[in-house]
């Protein structure tokens, strides 16, 4: 690949992952992997400065400012990011650069908390505004109401100044994060991927009661502006803040030489696994505020600080067992159970081994010592076996040739690495199918948790999906046996099941769990056929007429409805009163049929989600990236690189008003 092609590819990759991190709070790769992409991009830009354009990730600071939690507010001081460094040599080079420009500079080394940046503005000692980072330069979101219920946010200072603006990091302790996910699971809701995602989503949502319940925390790491104190150093400011009861970054060190700085960085790295919260690096900054002022900043980073990023943590652990589980399609998954180790602030003891091919490639067995890491700093994975520690009695693990749940002989699917249990009556498969069916993306039966499903299957109340809708006939026995709890909890679940009978047929189709037919495909299919009955009679040729349904998906749908067991199940559901027809929404049309839209920027009156629903309700499709196939780019304020790309490709650019006119024309 040529440097220019690789540069364009890096821009696309970084833009995508930045959006997942800043705007969606749902990162797909680790901070370390993202940093390596940025580093490669900057190296290419140094060698080819002619490549650099205003939409380069190196020229931007943060994400986009959104309107979920409040109005947009203008930053008094830009909330810049920090220049990342990854080696001892780079840390020494930064210290040497500071020593060359300044006389006897003093450095502070402190934790870099993995959270969401927040600025607090105090006037005469009273909290007046809390704002998020937003785009980092111009605008952030007003989240004052949510900030006021965070336990570490002081609403009034003991020794007020005329004006004080401080910047900190909102985060969640690992303990609070686990409690939130436990509540999410009990409620049948989606679990958060990690503490940072949870903290970011919580701070931006609208219900302050939810914010308070989730127990966010805050560390302050900088005084942005002040009037009336005249602090000379960063640490002097910290001492003032501590007297006000404000939490500042813990265990910071003041250093004078490069070696002292490096030792402080290493000490933080060695201790990161023992902290009750996540950190993603160590910050090295000048202590003197006058020196900071003298050096200033680039358009993106201050010149007086760097962030050292630690490589992903990796620990060696001994495999104690390999457990076998069966999924809803019968797929058998081996999972390694190993001695608990701490990675990225949490204790982990399990990692998937995927399939027999993966086991063979690793050459792993029970009793082996393996190197464990976290992919994306979220999912535990095994990197390799430490062969020099293997004992003579340890042998490569072999997935058994019978299902561990029902005893049926397993099969290896043709052209795949999957081993499966072929029995549709396997209790493990039934459990997984029910879990998928009641999930939020399918029938959305709230309160129907995994524990209840497992118990109902185990006791024989549920043998297939249709049995869910006749559970009311067993109300008395269920209460007597305490499966769901007392009368109140049992009736609450039965009422939720009764309400689910009226769901749209696309949700029912999604819940069937047909391979290659997810939520989006189910919507398109039901829009075309209207009823489950018509869909069940459709032939492959007719199915492939539906947009985005190819022969493979069509074949999966045909196989599902041709199965006599599934036919009987659907008949029982229909008899129980489950809706089998598509619900036509108010204002629905096909006026945008065949058109593909991309949405970017902040719209005047609609959230982007609302705009997407409007487009889809009128027959259009919404994509996440601009291409030659894009019909229109719906652009609001701060449209950014998507607007640039749309203009370069000649894609039509419209505003919210034009979209509404297009819909009206129907």
Q: What is the CA radius of gyration of the chain?
A: 28
Instruction: Please give the Cα distance from 491 to 629 (Å, whole number).
Output: 50
- Map residue 563 onto helix, strand or coil: coil
Q: How many CB atoms lie within 10 A of CB 199?
A: 32
Instruction: Please give the Cα distance from 117 to 131 (Å, whole number).
Output: 9
Instruction: Please give the Cα distance from 149 to 146 (Å, whole number).
Output: 6
CB contact set of 477 (below 8 Å; sequence gap of 6+): none
Instruction: Please give the Cα distance from 535 to 545 (Å, whole number).
Output: 12
DSSP notation for 466-483 = GGGGGGGGGHHHHHHHTS
CB contact set of 571 (below 8 Å; sequence gap of 6+): none
Cα dihedral 385, 391, 394, 396 sign: positive
| Contact criterion met (CB below 8 Å) for 377 and 196 | no
Half-sphere exposure of 601 (CA within 13 A, CB side): 19
The label of the residue with tokens 């490589």 reads 311
CB contact set of 79 (below 8 Å; sequence gap of 6+): 61, 62, 117, 119, 133, 134, 136, 140, 167
Half-sphere exposure of 181 (CA within 13 A, CB side): 16
The label of the residue with tokens 């067992």 reads 321
Classify the phi-psi angles of 587: left when phi > 0, otherwise alpha if psi is within -120 to 50, otherwise beta.
Answer: left
Instruction: Please give the Cα distance from 310 to 329 (Å, whole number).
Output: 40
- Map residue 602 onto helix, strand or coil: strand
Q: Indicate the helix (H) or strand (E) that contains 633.
A: strand 632-635
**Is 112 an active-site residue?**
yes
- Which residue of the set 11, 19, 66, 112 is catalytic? 112
| Contact criterion met (CB below 8 Å) for 383 and 373 | yes
| Contact criterion met (CB below 8 Å) for 76 and 165 | yes
CA 64 distance to own-chain centroid: 17
Dig out the tokens for 545 from the structure.
């007429």
What are the catalytic residues?
112
């Amino acid at each position: 690949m040529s440097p220019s092609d690789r540069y364009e590819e890096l821009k696309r990759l970084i833009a995508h992952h930045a959006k997942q991190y800043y705007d969606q709070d749902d990162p797909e790769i680790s901070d370390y992997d993202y940093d390596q992409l940025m580093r490669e991009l900057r190296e290419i830009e140094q060698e080819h400065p002619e490549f650099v354009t205003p939409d380069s990730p190196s020229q931007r600071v943060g994400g986009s400012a959104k309107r979920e939690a409040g109005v947009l507010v203008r930053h008094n001081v830009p909330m810049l990011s920090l220049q990342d460094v990854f080696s001892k040599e780079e840390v020494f080079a930064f210290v040497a650069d500071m020593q060359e420009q300044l006389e006897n500079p003093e450095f502070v080394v402190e934790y870099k908390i993995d959270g969401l940046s927040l600025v607090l503005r105090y006037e005469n000692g009273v909290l007046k505004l809390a704002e998020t980072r937003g785009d980092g330069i111009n605008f952030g979101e007003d989240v004052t109401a949510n900030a006021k219920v965070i336990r570490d946010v002081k609403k009034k200072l003991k020794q007020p100044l005329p004006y004080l603006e401080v910047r900190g990091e909102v985060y969640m302790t690992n303990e609070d994060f686990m409690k939130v996910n436990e509540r999410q699971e009990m409620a049948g809701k989606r679990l958060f991927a990690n503490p940072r995602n949870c903290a970011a989503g919580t701070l931006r949502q609208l219900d302050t009661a939810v914010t308070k319940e989730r127990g966010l925390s805050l560390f302050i790491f900088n005084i942005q502006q002040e009037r009336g104190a005249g602090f000379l150093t960063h640490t002097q400011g910290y001492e003032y803040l501590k007297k006000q009861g404000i939490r500042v970054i813990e265990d910071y060190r003041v250093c004078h030489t490069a070696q002292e700085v490096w030792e402080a960085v290493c000490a933080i790295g060695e201790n990161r696994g023992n902290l009750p919260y996540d950190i993603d690096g160590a910050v090295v900054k000048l202590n003197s505020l006058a020196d900071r002022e003298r050096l200033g900043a680039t358009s993106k980073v201050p010149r007086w600080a760097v962030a050292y990023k630690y490589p992903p943590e990796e620990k060696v652990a001994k495999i104690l067992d390999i457990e076998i589980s069966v999924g809803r399609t019968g797929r058998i998954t081996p999972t390694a159970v190993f001695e608990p180790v701490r990675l990225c602030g949490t204790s982990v003891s399990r990692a998937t081994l995927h399939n027999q091919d993966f086991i063979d490639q690793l050459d792993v067995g029970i009793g082996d010592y393996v190197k464990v890491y976290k992919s994306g700093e979220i999912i535990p994975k095994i990197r390799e076996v430490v062969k020099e520690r293997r004992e003579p009695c340890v042998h490569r693990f072999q997935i058994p040739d019978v299902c561990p749940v029902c005893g049926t002989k397993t099969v290896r699917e043709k052209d795949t690495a999957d081993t499966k249990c072929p029995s549709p009556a396997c209790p493990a498969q039934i459990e997984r199918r029910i879990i998928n069916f009641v999930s939020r993306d399918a029938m959305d039966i709230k309160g129907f948790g995994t524990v209840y499903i497992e118990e109902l299957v185990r006791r024989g109340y549920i043998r297939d999906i249709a049995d869910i809708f006749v559970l009311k006939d067993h109300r008395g026995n269920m209460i007597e046996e305490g499966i769901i709890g007392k009368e109140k909890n049992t009736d609450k679940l039965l009422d939720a099941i009764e309400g689910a009978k009226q769901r749209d047929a696309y949700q029912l189709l999604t819940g069937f769990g047909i391979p290659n037919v997810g939520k989006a495909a189910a919507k398109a299919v039901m829009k075309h056929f209207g009823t489950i009955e018509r869909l069940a009679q459709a032939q492959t040729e007719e199915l492939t007429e539906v947009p985005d349904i190819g022969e493979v998906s069509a074949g999966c749908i045909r196989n599902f409805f041709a199965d006599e067991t599934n036919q009987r199940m659907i008949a029982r559901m229909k008899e129980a009163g489950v809706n089998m027809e598509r619900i036509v929404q108010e204002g629905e049309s096909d006026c945008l049929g065949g058109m593909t839209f991309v949405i970017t920027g902040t719209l005047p009156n609609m959230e982007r989600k609302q705009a997407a629903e409007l487009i889809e309700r009128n027959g259009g499709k919404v994509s996440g990236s601009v291409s030659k196939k894009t019909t229109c780019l719906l652009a609001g304020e701060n449209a950014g690189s998507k607007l640039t790309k749309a203009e370069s490709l000649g894609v039509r650019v419209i505003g919210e008003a034009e979209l509404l006119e297009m819909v009206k024309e129907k």
